Homo-oligomer: A and B are copies of this chain.
């Protein structure tokens, strides 16, 4: 089987048909015409000024609160560099983004996983943990269309998290790359917007609204924190990529980004609806929450299914998935993550059918 025949539910990346290459071409040309000096030079660790202004305006904060990074994972890395040392207690969601777990483990943080319910992290469980004496420096939260669970944190829980952060003196890292990729329902306010006590460091990205290959993300936080990150970033890479930033700025300022987001959302809604339909048809035992946005759907296949066996068999059949165990410290053996961002709707049913075949063939 050739690589192009593979149906990949594994990687959270867009298919090429939903990336506006022509728009990026126009934007990069405009960037080189309008800001050649900025593109030719180093720039500074905070980011390209027009990009920062655009972001400050979007998030209704001061430019001083904004710092652009080479993708939003780089924002995670800087935050962890500054806040997480050996044995630093950190709250993580269970399940959560595998690269978050990896980054925290590299720094030998003391991880405290808290269950993610259908409306986001279980705040009672978190509160009990805090009452038991755990004093985290940081809680890592993916509020919208969580990776991998696909669920969204309710407004009530957002408020409660902010209260707990103030009461127990920790920071919330609101990791929000999927913010604008909502294809159903009403947007909720970010914790960054709701916060009045400098309790939130927020990060997002253009990987889902423009494309990943321009590697541009950003952080929003208290000025003194942003200044510390800038100082660190300056010693690591001097400045984030000015060419990518100036291109994205033009793409955003022209309004092309809104069209791009609409294209992405329409395609993803179609894909997730097909995915849910196919799961009900081919894997009726599967439990899942159909997301209102984002890239991921989390499936539990129930007892008797060992995804450690299902995943390699599915790969042999031409379907790639990611094992649930990658997203938790313990457990997750009967779960898996399906990314629907890269699979055109017309191939999804075939993918799920083959996945169901792998489940059937590997049953205990």
Binding site for B on A (CB under 8 A): 11, 13-14, 16, 19, 21, 24-25, 28-29, 32-33, 36-43, 70-71, 73-74, 77, 99, 102-103, 106, 207, 211-215, 235-244, 247
Contact = CB atoms under 8 A, between A and B. Distances in A.
Contact of A73 (B236, B241, B247): B236
Contacts of A74: 236-237
A36 B13 contact: no
Nearest to A18: B40
B24 A211 contact: no
Given A73-B237, A106-B235, 7 more contacts: A13-B42, A19-B40, A39-B211, A40-B211, A77-B236, A214-B241, A243-B243
Contacts of A33: 25
A53 to B, nearest CB: 18
B71 A237 contact: yes
B236 A215 contact: no
A244 B71 CA distance: 14
In the A-B complex, the 3 residue pairs with the closest CB atoms: A213-B242, A19-B40, A39-B213
Nearest to A43: B213
A41 B103 contact: no
A215 B240 contact: yes
Contacts of A13: 41-42
B28 A40 contact: no
A40 B341 CA distance: 13
